[in-house]
Amino acid sequence: MDGFSYNDIFATKGIEYLIIVVFMTLLIPFWIVLNRRVKTPRQIRKSPGILTASLLRVPQGIFFSRYHTWTHLEKSGIAKVGLDDLLLHITGEVKFSNLKQSGDKVIKGDLVAQIDQKGKLLKVFAPISGEIMETNSVLNENPELLNEDAYIKGWMYKIKPTSWVADTNSYLLAEDATSWSVQELDRFKDFLVASIGKYLPEPTNVIMQDGGELRDQPLSELPNEVWEDFQQDFLSKKALCVNKNCFRKSE
């Protein structure tokens, strides 16, 4: 069979194939390591940062009570209520327990729920009086909505108010609410110094970032005793006395 020749491509291309195999062998581990390095900054961004006034969200059309709940009257005449952004930045991710049901009647100041953070509890009081029309059941399955979107998706109740004007006449709105939130953050820092000094010998490692800045979600790392102090000394009526002047009892 003149004119026909047979070439063993595995013999002639063997070195090239070997180089490709070696290259792929080296490339795959390098790709895995590279992906790990890319993911690290994303994980860092998810960790708590620094709690400053610029981090706080204070919608200008919402009424804020001094117990860190909010309420907003919709066009339908139904009011939404929930927890404010500062409180959630202080506590970290929480779940609700002891929620009221549709049809229940509440009076401003009534206990309407507890927030639970790994067994550490805080009481939540109604900012307005009225009949509960709906409980936000989505929060049971997705409690993270509270921290992600406290004012839109993270509402607690829809309430048909019975004394809206009287209940909200001492609440804070717009620029007043913004200024108050900044003052409350400063008051919280003073509270921490007084409270954790009683329970932790070296508190700065727990609540402070490098440089002395306050960590976001500081209560999440603190013991139950500090939570109890926070309820009594920061959220109670007695704690609302400033420079020997107390806000009205109805607040």
Partnered with residue 238 across adjacent β-strands are: none
| The 111-117 sheet, strands edge to edge | 95-97, 111-117, 120-125
pLDDT band at 31 (very low <50, low <70, confident <90, very high): very low
- Of 144, 147, 158, the C-alpha closest to 112 is 158
Query: What's the pLDDT at 135?
Result: 95
Give all domains of the chain, ordered by start, each with its CATH number: 50-251 (2.40.50.100)
- CB–CB of 72/153 below 8 Å? no
Q: Which residues contact 155 (CB under 8 A, 6 or more apart)?
A: 80, 81, 82, 136
pLDDT more than 90, % of the chain: 56
Query: What's the pLDDT at 100?
Result: 94
Query: What's the pLDDT at 248?
Result: 38
Residue 243 scores a pLDDT above 50: no
What is the CA angle 164-153-231, rounded to 5? 65
Task: Give mean pLDDT, residues 170-190.
Answer: 95
Helical residues (DSSP H) of the chain, grouped into ranges: 9-12, 14-46, 85-91, 138-141, 145-148, 164-168, 175-196, 204-207, 224-229
As given in the structure block, the two tokens for residue 175 are 């620029």
How far is it, in rounded angstroms, from Cα 56 to Cα 85?
A: 6
Query: What's the pLDDT at 158?
Result: 98
Residue 21 scores a pLDDT above 60: no
- Identify the DSSP state of 248: P
Task: Give mean pLDDT, residues 29-47.
Answer: 43
Instruction: Calculate the alpha carbon distances from 73 to 78, 106, 112 in Å.
Output: 6, 16, 19
pLDDT band at 141 (very low <50, low <70, confident <90, very high): confident
97, burial (CB in 10 Å: exposed 0-12, middle 13-18, buried 19+): exposed
